[in-house]
Structure 1
Amino acid sequence: MGFLEDHLIPLVDEGLGNSAYLVDLGDGRALAVDASRDLRALHTAAERRGLTVAYAADTHLHADFLSGAVQLGHDHGASILASAAGGRAFNHQGLADGDEVDLGGLTMRALATPGHTDEHLSFLLLDGRAELGVFTGGSLIVNSAARTDLLGPERTEELARAQYRSLRRLTELPDGTAVWPTHGAGSFCSAPPGTERTSSIGAQKQANPLLAAPDEDTFVSQLIASLGTYPAYFDRLGEVNRRGPGVVTSTPLLTELSAEQVRLLGADGGHVVDVRPAADYAAGHIPGSLSIPLRGQFATWLGWLLPDTAPLVFVTADGQDLSEIVWQAYKIGYERLAGRLAGGMDAWTAAGHRPATTEFVTADRTDHRPYVDVRQESEFAAGHVPGAVNIELGGLAHVAAEAPEGAIVACGHGERAMTAASLLERAGHSDVAVLDGGPVDFASAHGEKLVQGAEGARP
């Protein structure tokens, strides 16, 4: 634990469910592993310790965020370490299985662990001959393994078999070796999502159900059966990371736009994204706008529901952190940020535009309306309202016309449901209501018990 406490700094992105790591090498230099393009937390941690990032290592071509390695090369002069098999189109030190990098006292050894991606490496950190820990990226994660379907359904089983061999290889490390994954709780790259973020080889041998599979075929079946849907933007970020994200030379700002400019942008193919809390959106919003409340999961739903090719304009509430909007968008490659509505909804109504409203109701006021649950199928199966129809939020826009009229739309708390309601309103539904709460609140108010299973879920 001494090394963990003194030298390893986990940097957790709760929204994407990922961890980056900053390793203090003890001489004013640091190693960064799987850093995202949003480097605010990493820069703060480095500055606090007076560190310069000398090495930026990526375990794989990330699908869920843009790598910060190129930016660290620009900002700190960091040497970029990554798989030679990844075909990266920028200056880096390509590593193959067994290659070692002298970090100045510590050594980092590359271990080929394909499965999540073809070129995936794990990085074993050594102090002399002692194994301190292994950065497992999207290979072995806590009580699970990362998904193997990101390169297309025709590759899923092949990569799952590679993942089996990779995990078996990692379990040959000493039991005391720390396991430092990138993907963890809340990550759509996990299969299924785990709960803890770090572990050890010995603990995973005891607790990881995939490692308990008696043979390769069983492992493959279990892993593939656990795969749920994932955000649409995952399909394009791997290639952007291969080419290398653009360097950001200054903090991007949101331009102040008038109500008329916002109206014209929306009419000309842009998207109006309302980042205010769900209750604020319900009370009054720009017709046709998309509600994505600003929170940790903002980037996930922005990237899942909107293209990266159209300009975006934001409606904000007083006191919201504008830099959070910008960096969450930038870390998934959304850079066409036209600005924000100056003066918020007050400016919209002052300009003579009528706002739209959405009914936002508590569980005791839902009457006998159809109940549409927009959570992930795994959440729905774990416990849902009797008779509920499950349409995952990520796929709702494609089947909005088929959603029942006059529905109560619900999720776990209300944020995703308000996003769903805004999608349905854009598709022409005018009688949508959103549950302020979740299935437990509804069941309690109606004297019902939640039911389990996937019946009612759309394919």
Structure 2
Amino acid sequence: MTPTVIPIDTPGLGDRTYLAHDGAVALVVDPQRDFDRVLAAADEAGVRITHVFETHIHNDYVTGGLALAEAVGAQYLVNADDPVAFERTPVRDGDVVPVGDHMRVRVVHTPGHTHTHLSFALSADGEPVAVFTGGSLLFGSTGRPDLLGPDHTDALVHAQWHSAQRLAQELPDTTEVFPTHGFGSFCSATQSEASASTIGDEKRSNPALTQDEEAYVAELLAGLEEFPAYYAQMGPANSAGPGAPDLSDPELADPAELRRRIDAGEWVVDLRTRSAFAAGHLAGSVNFGIDGQFITYLGWILPYDATVTLLGETPEQVAQAQRDMVRIGMDPAAMATGKPEEWADGAPLGSFPVTDFAGLAQELRENPDAERVVLDVRRPAEFDSGHIAGAVNVPVHAVLAHLESIPHQQLWVHCAGGYRASVVASILAARGHDVVAIDDSYDESAGAAGLELV
């Protein structure tokens, strides 16, 4: 028999969980904290979850592994060398774990993303069919080796190459590869457009398998960029053994309560699109649209212990944002739904203009001596690869740390596509800055608009 592998995507974090089953029993690899999605997949397949495997102590989300295993009475398999504060089934390199009558899982130590990282090679009736590689071998890439800090990076990047080589040598070319990261996650060194792969595919395309060790190491290290600040909280949370999330509705906040929270310096987050927010919003609120990389930037920019109130057009918007938040261990304190006019209860709404790069070019031509700043909120590597002449770079994730140094002139805020620009524009507008948000593609439009790029 050939096991069925069901991927469960978490696009906001760029990760995948896997449910693999033989028609009767199932194993789960790297479940997200909101494991109700895993239970739904198992129920739909009509299978019983007996084993939950963790490839590593994750840096980019809070695991649902322990809570899921407890909920269904499954074994929870974690590296015996991981210093965790909960009971688990310890496993080590070379262990073989039977799952039902047909499936066997061989534990393979694949350090590189972390020191204790494991991959799980799945065989059915004695034939290797798949390998769950977590943050080791990804589609066309590998997991980044720098998340444990600079003291570990050199050892881990070399270990990552050797781990990829080991998987390629020990598994048949037909073995399907199922990584956890690499679908937009900052845990990936680079991103691939592939949605499926095999060991044979990776041998032909993955730098860890096509380059020698030193070339791979040099290229990977040169391409590493910043990663979200909340990552620092994930390892300790996962080592402590997180419980199941609370997805019940937050308390409702009326207009007076919303104003009290804003005046107290709390974060009131509007989930609507950036265009809707710019046209009119509750004064003092900020915009992290649920239609973009909501949780990546909310978790990166806001203090991890921030008190957050969510504003959505519908309860469904708030529920999605809440689900995203609990995946990284944050819980909203309150919520409101409806329209900004209702949230403001008659008070004036905030707003700011939105334009494109052609509008910026026209402004620079027609008012060359006006006091303004073009604020580029892309990451430093993006800025260094090319930017508008005279632009000031304050990366989106660093804006709170640089609030005092941002000049009180008109700020024309842009990023690569508009989402990050709206986040920053909303934060600055809430603090009294005169902002214009540029909602446009930098690569496609900045040069075409006639702006001087350097």
**1:253–1:418 Cα change, 3 Å:** same
- The answer for the alignment partner of 2:375 in structure 1 is 372
Structure 1 partner of 2:263: 267
- 1:158 maps to 155
Give the Cα separation in 2 of the matches to 1:164 and 1:332. 29
**Offset at 1:445?**
5.6
Which residue number corresponds to residue 426 of structure 2? 422
Residues 1:443 and 2:446 aligned together:
yes
Residues in 2 aligned to 1:155 and 1:406: alpha-carbon distance in whole angstroms: 43
CA distance in 2, matches of 1:234, 1:70: 19
Deviation at 1:307, TM superposition (A): 2.1
Q: 1:227 to 1:361 in 2, by over 3 A?
A: same
Alignment partner, residue 413 of structure 1: 417
2:74 is equivalent to residue 78 of structure 1:
yes
Counterpart position of 2:219: 222
The aligned amino acid for 1:353 is: A
Distance apart, 1:387 and its partner CA: 5.2
Match of 1:278 in 2: 274
Tell me if 1:61 matches 2:51: no
Residues 30, 63 of structure 2: 8 Å contact kept: yes
CA drift at 1:128:
3.7
Give the Å deviation of 1:363.
Answer: 3.4
Which among 126, 139, 143 is matched to residue 142 of structure 1? 139
2:27 alignment counterpart: 31
Alignment correspondent of 1:397: 400
**Cross-structure match for 1:360:** 354
SS at match of 1:347: helix
Note if contact 2:282-2:344 (Cα within 8 Å) is conserved in structure 1.
no
Distance of aligned partners of 1:297 and 1:115 in 2 relative to their CA distance in 1, 3 Å threshold: same
In structure 1, distance between residues paired with 2:289 and 2:323: 15
The answer to whether the 8 A contact 1:58-1:69 is kept is yes
Alignment counterpart, residue 347 of structure 1, candidates 342, 351, 357: 342
Alpha-carbon displacement from aligned partner over 1:59-96 (angstroms, at most 9, x marks no partner): 00111111111221233222111111112222211111
The alignment covers a number of residue pairs equal to: 442
Among 66, 84, 90, the residue aligned to 1:88:
84
Residue 338 (str. 1) matches residue 342 (str. 2): no
Q: Which residue of 2 is the match for residue 193 of structure 1?
A: 191
Give distance in 1, aligned partners of 2:344 and 2:23: 57
Instruction: Return the offset for 1:156.
Output: 1.1
Equivalent residues of 1:133, 1:177 under 8 A apart:
yes
Hey, what does 1:121 align to over in structure 2?
A: 118
Write out aligned runs for 1:210-359 (5 A).
210-214=208-212, 216-248=213-245, 251-295=247-291, 297-318=293-314, 320-335=316-331, 337-341=332-336, 343-350=338-345, 352-359=346-353
- TM-score normalised per structure 1: 0.89
Letter in 1 for 2:293: Q
**C-alpha distance in 2, partners of 1:401/1:311?**
22
Letter in 1 for 2:398: G
Identity in percent: 36
Paired with 1:34 and 1:390, the residues of 2 have a C-alpha distance of 37
Are the aligned partners of 1:33 and 1:56 in contact in 2 as well (CA < 8 Å)?
yes
Does structure 1 conserve the Cα–Cα contact (< 8 Å) formed by 2:64 and 2:244? no
Q: Report deviation, 1:441.
A: 5.2
- Note the C-alpha offset of 1:365: 2.3
Cα distance in structure 2, aligned partners of 1:277 and 1:320:
14
Displacement, 1:437?
1.7
Query: Shift of residue 49 of structure 1?
Result: 1.3
CA shift at 1:50, angstroms? Answer: 1.7
CA contact (8 A) 2:281 2:340 kept: yes
- Mapped contact 2:358–2:446 kept (Cα < 8 A): no
Which residue pairs with 1:177 in the alignment? Answer: 175
CA drift of 1:444 comes to 6.2
In the TM superposition, residue 44 of structure 1 has moved relative to its aligned partner by 2.7
How far apart, CA to CA, are the structure 1 residues paired with 2:58 and 2:291? 22
Kept after mapping to 1: 8 A contact 2:315/2:337: no
Cα distance in 2 for partners of 1:308, 1:407 equals: 27
Answering whether residue 434 of structure 2 is matched by residue 431 of structure 1, we say: yes
Partner residue, 2:367: none
Letter of the 2:160 counterpart = Q
- Is the CA contact 2:182–2:192 (under 8 Å) kept in the aligned structure 1? yes
State which drifts further: 202-211 or 96-105.
202-211
Indicate conservation of the 8 Å contact 1:275/1:291, yes or no: yes
Paired with 2:398 and 2:251, the residues of 1 have a C-alpha distance of 31
Per the alignment, do residues 73 and 414 of structure 1 end up closer, same or farther by CA in structure 2, a change over 3 Å counting?
Answer: same
- Change in Cα spacing, 1:378 to 1:133, as seen in structure 2 (3 Å) is farther
Deviation per residue, 1:350-403 (Å, 9 max, x gap):
2x4332212212333221264333233455566655554443211222223444
**1:363·1:441 contact (CA, 8 Å) conserved in 2?**
no
Residue 231 of structure 1 deviates from its aligned partner by 0.5
Q: CA RMSD in A?
A: 2.3
**Counterpart contact for 2:107–2:120, Cα < 8 Å:** yes
Give the secondary structure class of the aligned counterpart of 1:407.
strand
Query: Which of 192, 204, 207 matches 1:206?
Result: 204
Q: Alpha carbons of 1:314 and 1:171: their partners in 2 closer, same or farther (altered >3 Å)?
A: same
1:92-111 → structure 2 map (5 Å cutoff): 92-104=88-100, 105-111=102-108
Q: TM-score, normalised by structure 2?
A: 0.90
Residue pair 1:57, 1:81 contacting (<8 A) in 2 also: yes
Query: 1:197 Cα shift?
Result: 3.9
Query: Judging changes above 3 Å, is the alpha-carbon distance between structure 1 residues 427 and 263 closer, same or farther for their aligned structure 2 residues?
Result: closer
